[in-house]
Structure 1
């Protein structure tokens, strides 16, 4: 799609195949014996954050090194991403871009989601938009089956007051926990249904989903806990993790009929199973619970 879009607004642009490498070029305009423009595509999603800075620096360095080794010059280097940068990364990009332009004389640009959308709605790119995005010509997107979201019964809500995942939230300063209880309750219903049916593909999907939410939590926990002046209560950890889970639907296996509520609840289940927490000392909070949590530490909710 990107190659067609670039060719629509820059006739003559073409893809470069990796065999085995692509010289740091995804789409090229110009001749590899003279002056060229290079587009580098990076599928970062759902946003570009500080963890992507090394990839960006490496891609630009590879493009410059190959140009010097192969005997051509880069006039413009364009990074293409399907999303936007968060504020700290945008500041880093602006400074890095200005410094590298001074050092190399290469014009550096960013084509983010807004730039790509603006190009797709131009008359020159109408055929690209129709080919990839026209809802009347593209195959219909299948509707994913979703488990219903159930209301939390009052007796169950009271019982969950003593749950370890609620205690972890309280330790992090959370006052309202009703939504978290409902998320946990619905994830428990989903997990029980999967266990009762015993279908291998659903059991595998549940295990994979658990691993995904655990990985999201771990990445964000390390980020927050690793800050020099980190507050032991890690105040931004919970919202960051839950936002990542809600925005990463594409990463979860479609075999599991889980919506956003269920996916968030899966992480509450892991917290209740002493595999995660919301404060820097979460292991101490878990240890204080002994074997009195909602699941007794064995990963199986009470029926």
Structure 2
């Protein structure tokens, strides 16, 4: 049986491509969008000499990268940093981007022959079904060839010899080093208000949850980075760290339940768990995770519906899944 793709690439000296690297470098999703777009401009120009980025001043005419002349026939690439997946909420943006590109072409007297949507992730099943129908219909209506460059397509292109410099520049310098940097939550903070781990905190009476969001955001980036990198030692360390955090929660949850048999809010549970996680020396050193990341791993456990901060946490998790 052949070795897994990740193992073959590591053996060949090529680290796997992790599109979350744009978030690590920029520190937030807004910066990641710009960084991803700049990478695409380099990649496309490497594969299609003559392609060029178009600056938004004040608008970009619905063009991120262009091949051709704006007096004739053009190919347009549209960058959208949808992360970690392309979902129903992205559909309106996709439609608007395509319509904007064609409207600009009509206004300025050139013709779009091909429109390519570039995303660093994959479509979930409902959105993939929508995309297939929308693409077929709009191609018939407009005569424009519509393509999707999703994460698999982009990785294949970045693995080509003529794109080696792009891969090296954006993805090869893997790893945050011995001290993992902390990232600010930024624009995604409002989106985290709807997450299960925040709902569980609210149920326990927590009114301030901004530090919890920061912890979760950084731990989630860490976990995605580790899995994308594929190094066995770090993956094992992440699994062990998850087990340590879960074990601390389980012991203190049972103790809180015994100490407060009539109080469903289990007062002090969250503070006790996070305090023990911060002070614990049981977390594996190979993960290079500080206190913020370790606390965030506990929030990920809650988000995964494996724990909570009140006695009836399972009911809250079930309501979230419904």
Structure-1-length-normalised TM-score = 0.57
Confirm whether residue 263 of structure 1 aligns to residue 300 of structure 2: yes
Cα shift readout 1:38-60 (whole Å, capped 9, x = no counterpart): 00000000000111100100100
Q: 1:28 aligns with which of 66, 72, 76?
A: 66
Q: 1:157 aligns with which of 241, 254, 279?
A: 254
Tell me, in whole angstroms, the C-alpha distance in 2 between the residues paired with 1:44 and 1:68: 28
Confirm whether residue 93 of structure 1 aligns to residue 131 of structure 2: yes
Q: How does 1:28-67 map to 2 (within 5 A)?
A: 28-67=66-105
Cα shift readout 1:225-277 (whole Å, capped 9, x = no counterpart): xxxxxxxxxxxxxxxxxxxxxxxxxxxx9956434333333786566699x93
Q: How does 1:106-255 map to 2 (within 5 A)?
A: 106-135=144-173, 140-141=176-177, 143-144=179-180, 149=245, 151-152=247-248, 156-157=253-254, 160=257, 164=264, 188-190=272-274, 255=292
Say whether the 8 Å CA contact 2:80–2:119 is kept in structure 1: yes
Unaligned runs of at least 5 residues, structure 2: 1-38, 182-218, 220-240, 280-289
Say whether the 8 Å CA contact 1:75–1:107 is kept in structure 2: yes
Q: Secondary structure at the match of 2:117?
A: strand
- The alpha carbon displacement at 1:128 in A equals 1.1
- More RCO (CA 8 Å, sep 6+): 2
Tell me, in whole angstroms, the C-alpha distance in 1 between the residues paired with 2:291 and 2:120: 22
Say which one has the larger Rg: 1
- The alpha carbon displacement at 1:193 in A equals 7.7
Cα shift readout 1:156-196 (whole Å, capped 9, x = no counterpart): 42754978589xxxxxxxxxxxxxxxxx96775216888x9
Structure-2-length-normalised TM-score = 0.54
Confirm whether residue 73 of structure 1 aligns to residue 137 of structure 2: no
CA shift in 2, pair 1:281/1:36, >3 Å: closer
Larger fraction in helix: 2
Number of residue pairs matched by the alignment: 205
Unaligned runs of at least 5 residues, structure 1: 167-183, 197-252, 283-303
Q: Secondary structure at the match of 1:56?
A: helix
Tell me, in whole angstroms, the C-alpha distance in 2 between the residues paired with 1:70 and 1:271: 60
Confirm whether residue 277 of structure 1 aligns to residue 313 of structure 2: no
